Structure 1
Amino acid sequence: MSTATKRGRAEAARQAKEALAAQERKRRALFAGAVAVVVLIVAGLIGWAVWAGQKDGGDSGATPPAAGFTAGTGPVAVDIYADFMCPACNQFEQQTGPTVDQLAAEGKITVTYHPIAILDRFSNGTQYSTRAAAASAAAAEGGKFVPYLKALYAQQPAEGTDGLSDDRLVEIGRSVGLGDEFAATVKDGTYRGWAKRTTDAASERGVTGTPTIYVAGQELKDRSPAGLQAAVAAANP
């Protein structure tokens, strides 16, 4: 066999070896990509499962950790802690609520509502404050938190009564456009655990009564419309 022939065969063998190596690298890359996709899918499923598992006390779109439900996207943070059994909270909503709505609509504030349950003792053992807060979380899940809040205040029971029944809470939800999923969530008590956690979080922040309002982290003393507007203006000169 000539030297040229030997060299040709050697070169052909080398090229074949390199081609096989390239194919192997490509196969490994494809396998690694497939594994990465599977990992992402599994991670997504786990994330969904974690969210679903939190529904027994989950955040339902709440700002973390179990903080509340937001409206508006303005630069000044306004936090409203309220109990649906609290007459003073209803008074604040009727008096200053429209100003809150206006400031949020004008892009001046981001308001976070914190439904808490500190007045269960005034509902004859029915835990109305907890049930109402939990129902408002279910309304938030259905995209109707603010309309539901206003409807609850419009039919607020007096302190010292049983409060509204779960059936009545469902009826109020239906009046603002919530459906069967909301009804099931209210009757199952899905978010009562969440109501407890958000109440505990409020206590840890130093909230001892309702309504308590913070503007840019500072407690609002003058809860009138003018007082709120002045505090927001001072926080964003």
Structure 2
Amino acid sequence: MSNGGSNQPRPNKNDRREAAREKARALREEQKKRERRNKILLQGGIIVAVVAIAALIGGMIFNSVKPAGPGPRNMASDGIVFTGSDGALTPSETPATPAGGKPTPTKQDDSGEVANIVTYIDYLCPYCGQFEQTNREAIKTMVEQGAATLEVHPIAILTNRSAGTQYSLRAANAAACVADLSPENFLDFNDALFDNQPAEGSTGLSNDDIKKLAEQAGVGSLSKVEKCIDDVQFKSWVQDATNRALSGPLPNTTEVESVKGTPTVLVNGKQYTGSLSEPTEFQAFVTQAASQSFTNSTPSPSETPTPTPAQ
């Protein structure tokens, strides 16, 4: 009885060895093809990634190097000025400084009867927040009574202290947006920024957070202000105004050449260096600075000529 099966002769040892070699060669060829294919895909992926990163960096550079535009209205001196009388406080309206133009110093009251208060502030500066919280209501009262004027200069010297978000610059830009479009709400917005001041070194407030504060402060032309905030419309102006404050000379001052830190507070040209948490100390300084200006502006009485002795 036949058991059936293949009629082919069984491969010998050499045949088996050659078959194994051929199989190994085929596997090597297949591996090489896979490696070439993966290399091509990897290179293509790297190229795509590099192009995407380059486009992203290019966009960031384009957005960060915007052509300089005009400054905000009502800040011709790089600061917004408030005067008052009979309990009312009014922002001074001025045209925008043209792109590349120089600011126009504010003509201060030199009668010696009014304290000209000038502040240089950074919205990320904790000492600025302390000074504002302590003295802002007293300052507003003095301005409303006609005893003082107030000129606020938002600058951004702490732009690199907010974990890469440039909060200091964005907040100063937002203040400029409000000064430009809704100056009567500037001080309320200024207060809101300090009432919600983030810690130095944090990411700061987002643009959406800042826009909510503008809305809460009753800012008019809100949609335009929000667009101005998102576009960082006055970025170049903030940078230029900051550089001008740091390099000097400061206008209308005889005691301080330039801003060395914030807050820099001047009253009739004299720098306040006292307590940031004691309101009576600043009020006493204002009174003293104003009285000294009054003394300096009062003409000295003419001396009575001495009679010439008779010969």
TM-score, structure 2 as length reference: 0.55
Give the equivalent residue in structure 1 for 2:117. Answer: 78
- Deviation of 1:100 (Å): 1.1
Matches within 5 A, 1:130-149: 130-141=169-180, 142-143=182-183, 144-149=185-190
Q: Deviations over 1:86-128 (max 9, x none)?
A: 1111111111111111111111111111111011121011111
The CA distance in 2 between the partners of 1:159 and 1:233, in whole Å, is 33
The alignment partner of 2:280 has SS state of helix
Mapped to 2, the partners of 1:63 and 1:228 lie a distance apart of: 27
**Equivalent residue in structure 1 for 2:265, among 213, 216, 228:** 213
Residue 131 of structure 1: CA displacement?
Answer: 0.5
Indicate if the aligned counterparts of 2:72 and 2:179 stay in contact, CA closer than 8 A: no
User: Counterpart of 2:203 in 1: which secondary structure?
Assistant: coil
Supply the distance in 2 between the matched residues of 1:227 and 1:55 (Cα, whole angstroms).
41
Q: CA deviation at 1:192?
A: 1.2
- What amino acid is the match of 2:171? A
1:151 maps to which residue? 192
Select the structure that is richer in helix.
Answer: 1
Structure 1 residue matching 2:266: 3-state secondary structure: strand
Does the Cα contact within 8 Å between 1:79 and 1:113 map onto a contact in 2? yes
Secondary structure of 1:80's counterpart equals: strand
Q: Residue in 2 aligned with 1:68?
A: 79
Does the 8 Å contact 2:270/2:289 carry over to 1? no
1:59 aligns with 2:72: yes
Gaps spanning 5+ residues in structure 1: where?
A: 1-53
1:123 and 2:175 correspond: no
Question: 1:158 and 1:170 mapped to 2: Cα distance?
Answer: 19
Structure 2 counterparts to residues 77-226 of structure 1, below 5 A: 77-141=116-180, 142-143=182-183, 144-178=185-219, 179-203=222-246, 204=248, 205=250, 206-223=258-275, 224-226=278-280
Q: Conserved in 2, the CA contact under 8 Å of 1:70 and 1:110?
A: yes
How far apart, in 2, do the equivalents of 1:228 and 1:58 lie? 31
Deviation at 1:61, TM superposition (A): 0.8
Q: Counterpart of 1:115 in structure 2: which amino acid?
A: P
State the Cα distance separating 1:163 from its structure 2 match: 0.8
Query: What residue in structure 2 maps to residue 235 of structure 1?
Result: 289
Residue 63 of structure 1 deviates from its aligned partner by 3.5
TM-score, with normalisation over the residues of structure 1? 0.72
Offset from partner CA, 1:162-191 (integer Å, 9 cap, x none): 111111111111111221010011111111
How big is the alpha-carbon RMSD for the aligned residues of Structure 1 and Structure 2?
1.8
Structure 2 unaligned runs (5+)?
Answer: 1-66, 85-108, 251-257, 292-311
- Structure 1 residue 228: Cα displacement: 2.4
> SS of the residue aligned with 1:121?
coil
The answer to whether the 8 Å contact 2:135/2:279 transfers is yes
Aligned partner letter, 1:92: F
Equivalent pairs: percent with the same residue?
33
Aligned mates of 2:282, 2:169 — CA distance in 1? 28
Match of 1:21? none
By how many angstroms is 1:208 displaced?
1.2
Aligned length: 182
Distance (Å, rounded) in 2 between the aligned partners of 1:170 and 1:79: 26
C-alpha separation between the residues in 2 aligned to 1:63 and 1:90?
25
Whether the aligned pair in 1 keeps the contact of 2:123 and 2:193 (CA below 8 Å) is yes
Whether contact under 8 Å (1:137, 1:191) holds in the other structure is yes
Q: How many angstroms apart in 1 are the aligned matches of 2:194 and 2:244?
A: 23
Higher relative contact order (CA 8 A, sep 6+): 1
What SS does structure 1 have at the residue aligned with 2:141? Answer: helix
Runs of 4+ in 1 over 4 A off after TM superposition: none
1:118 alignment partner, SS class: coil
